[in-house]
Structure 1
Amino acid sequence: MRTRFSFRRRENDDVQVDMTPMLDIVFIMLIFFVVSSSFLQIRSLAVQLPAAQSAQRQQSEPLHLQLLGNGQLRWQGQPLQAHELGEVLAQLPPHTKVLIEADSQVPHGQVVALMDKIRQAGIQQLAVGVLPQ
């Protein structure tokens, strides 16, 4: 006697992975890290600094160097010859702030040469003055 086995294929149901448990775990971990992290509050202490004879006051206002349209230089409003500029800049400490105010008619190359001369003197804080619009 022959038995006949019939194999029936099951229809392929789309297998889906349920994401709900994974999302629950992610949110629980997020809440855990937010609650367990510590937020630092930096509190400043009132410190009384000691006085010193050799202390230098920080300069808040920059020193003005003007380059006029006719090529004339002015240092702090006083006329200055181009060959004297190096000597004046050499006497300044490196933390000095210098503001170049060049006339709009002055060629760009002259302004760059002036900036280069200031940098060679060791002054690192340099600004160019403009008018707001």
Structure 2
Amino acid sequence: MAGGTADDTDDAITAINVTPLVDITLVLLIIFMVTAKIIVKSESIPLDLPSASQGTDVQTVFSVALGADGQTQVDQRAVQNDDAILALATEAHNKDAQLRAVIKADSAVPHGRVIHVLDLLKQAHVAKIAFGVTPAPPLVPVKQPNK
């Protein structure tokens, strides 16, 4: 038995074997670590993150915000119209060839306007373009009735 020999059946058990407790704890730790990685990966979006050998490089982000009311902002400054983006993007790209652009459009903005801004950024030779989004709560799967 645990903690004793077969000869002393009348004596009390004075030692506890903790090996099964440690085994169960380690198995649970591994299960939690694996499931935590799966949960984190399933809710994240793939990103093209820059790599740097030194922490001194600062990344330039060219931000374009499109409002539902027709307003356009570039780097938090209002511009006359969407066509002014081309000149500003070209100027910013000439300063930094690794320029990254982020288009933040209201959900009510027409698709054609977003594509027009995307086309203007590509004309300015901005190769790395992303869309700003707000994370939505995870979708709950619909259960199918049993047949």
Root-mean-square deviation over aligned CA pairs: 1.9
* SS of alignment partner, residue 123 of structure 1: coil
Identity across the alignment (%)? 26
Return the offset for 1:90: 1.3
| Superposition deviation, residue 87 in structure 1 | 1.4
Q: Aligned partners of 1:61, 1:89: CA distance in 2, in Å? A: 12
Whether the aligned pair in 2 keeps the contact of 1:98 and 1:127 (CA below 8 Å) is yes
Distance 1:92 1:63 in 2: 8
Count of residue correspondences: 78
| Equivalent residue number for residue 67 of structure 1 | 66
Contact 2:62 2:89 in 1 (8 A): no
TM-score, length-scaled by structure 1: 0.53
Corresponding residue for residue 129 of structure 2 = 126
- Any conservation in 2 of the 1:99–1:129 contact (CA below 8 Å)? yes
Structure with the higher fraction of residues in helix conformation: 2
Q: Aligned-pair distance for 1:132?
A: 0.4
Runs of 4+ in 1 over 3 A off after TM superposition: none
CA distance in 2, matches of 1:113, 1:84: 12
Partner of 2:113: 110
Q: Deviations 1:30-66 (Å, cap 9, x if unpaired)? A: xxxxxxxxxxxxxxxxxxx9xxxxxxx7443522110
Cα displacement string for residues 9-31 of structure 1 (whole angstroms, at most 9, x for unaligned residues) = xxxxxxxxxxxxxxxxxxxxxxx
Q: How does 1:1-133 map to 2 (within 5 A)?
A: 58-60=57-59, 62-82=61-81, 83-93=83-93, 94-133=97-136
Structure 2 partner of 1:6: none
Identify if the C-alpha distance between structure 1 residues 99 and 79 changes in structure 2 by more than 3 Å, giving closer, same or farther: same
CA deviations 1:64-87 (Å, max 9, x no partner) are: 110000111101111012232221
Going from structure 1 to structure 2, the CA distance change for 1:58 and 1:81 (only over 3 Å counts) comes to farther
| Alpha-carbon distance in 1 for matches of 2:131, 2:112 | 14
Gaps of 5+ in 1: 1-48, 50-56
Q: TM-score, normalised by structure 2?
A: 0.48
| Distance across 1 between alignment mates of 2:120 and 2:64 | 12
